[in-house]
Amino acid sequence: MNNQNQSKRIIYFDYLRIAAISAVVLLHLAAQNLRAVDIGSPTWHIFNIYDSLVRWGVPVFIMISGALFLSKEQPIKKIYKKNILKILILLVFWTLLYNLWQLFISHNSITFKNFIVNLTTGPFYLWFLYMLIGLYMVIPFLKRITEKKKTMEYFLLLAFIFTFLLPELIAVIAFKSEFVANLINNKLDSIQLFMTLGFTGYFILGYYLNKYNITKKAEIIIYIIGLIGIIFTIIVSALSSNHQGELVTFFYDNLTVNVAATSIAIFVFFKKHFNPKHLTMKQSKWLQLFSRCTLGVYLTHVFIIDALNSIFEINSLSFNPLISVPALSVLILIISYFISIILYKIPFIGKWLI
């Protein structure tokens, strides 16, 4: 990597990707047995805290993608030929591999009939790739929104209100009165403001936060709100689950105000504090490799979690979860990175596998 390329590269994105994939792995470890333990038990609270702490992983990935894709013109032909085609190849390969794994290796074996059916639906964690296809398809339209700062801010305001704020308020109201919540929800559905729904808000927000400078005062406020978001997720998820007598996952959702607040704080923190001006050639090489292979870690880590559980009977309940969740996360990250780097190094086809 030459100095010219290094100067053009947004270094903090590399650190942010590595942090985000670490959060996703820890999240899946924390959630692994969250439904298997009694709500309100010490173990449940530990899982809930870990789960709540790292809900920002996927939103941050989307924000990075938005910052990169919306920063330059993307011809529609190129989007389909390069980006969407690659995701389709990944979906076919990893869906087939996951279902073969379930059929022949995992203790949660499936019938051949279910195997055929599952090939059309895909494994649960590949929802992220399907969502990316949708975002990539509307990039030409989103790009037009980002051409003017005021238009972008107006879009983000609408996204905040209709994607994050109102649905969460309705969920809170539902705990007291389902009738009132349904009434408000029906009116909200009648507006049909679909354009600002889903993950487009995160996509544009990543571009916005990367492009425009943030004052020190605003930065501190963002961190405070982000911390409040984490505390809110922990406490309200616990209270609502205790109230319902079953796990309530709504406040873990990516499209909630509390998770968005934390995601923004993480993004800004890395922008401000993980953007070194000088890296050695060796540091740059390894940083880029680990950053490039984060998608591979996402695609492989579920297999490692399942293998540890089904073959070696090691999971988040094998020992004290306060230690097991982070310890197993580190182990799974190391193994997943090792596999991903090997796959990436395969000549000609490696870049299409992860």
Amino acid identity of 195? M
pTM, full prediction? 0.94
pLDDT of residue 107: 61
pLDDT of residue 176: 81
Quick one: how far is CA 203 from the chain centroid?
12
d(CA 63, CA 205): 6
pLDDT of residue 315: 97
Residue 4 pLDDT class (50, 70, 90 cuts): very low
Q: What is the pLDDT of residues 265-321, one digit of tens each?
A: 999 999 999 988 888 999 999 999 999 999 999 999 999 999 999 999 999 999 999
Q: Which of 257, 274, 254, 278 is nearest to 266 (CA)?
A: 274
pLDDT for 7 beyond 60: no
| 280: exposed, middle or buried (Cβ count in 10 Å: 0-12, 13-18, 19+) | exposed
pLDDT of residue 6: 44
Q: What is the pLDDT of residues 107-123, one digit of tens each?
A: 666 667 777 777 777 78
% residues pLDDT > 70 (the chain): 97
Mean predicted lDDT score pLDDT of the chain: 92
pLDDT of residue 189: 82
d(CA 213, CA 268): 10
Q: What residue has token string 């993608």?
A: 65
pLDDT for 160 beyond 60: yes
Amino acid identity of 149? K
pLDDT of residue 1: 35
pLDDT of residue 108: 61
d(CA 192, CA 76): 27
Span 226-242, mean pLDDT?
Answer: 97
pLDDT for 252 beyond 70: yes
Span 29-36, mean pLDDT?
Answer: 96
pLDDT for 228 beyond 80: yes
Residues 162, 188 contacting (CB under 8 angstroms): yes
Coil/strand/helix, residue 248: coil
pLDDT for 3 beyond 50: no
Span 320-324, mean pLDDT?
Answer: 97
pLDDT for 2 beyond 60: no
H helix runs in the chain, sequence order: 3-8, 11-32, 42-53, 57-69, 76-78, 85-104, 112-121, 127-137, 139-145, 149-159, 166-174, 178-191, 200-211, 216-244, 257-273, 281-292, 294-310, 321-345, 350-353
pLDDT of residue 299: 97
CA torsion 173→175→179→181, rounded to 10°? 30
Span 215-236, mean pLDDT?
Answer: 98
Coil/strand/helix, residue 208: helix
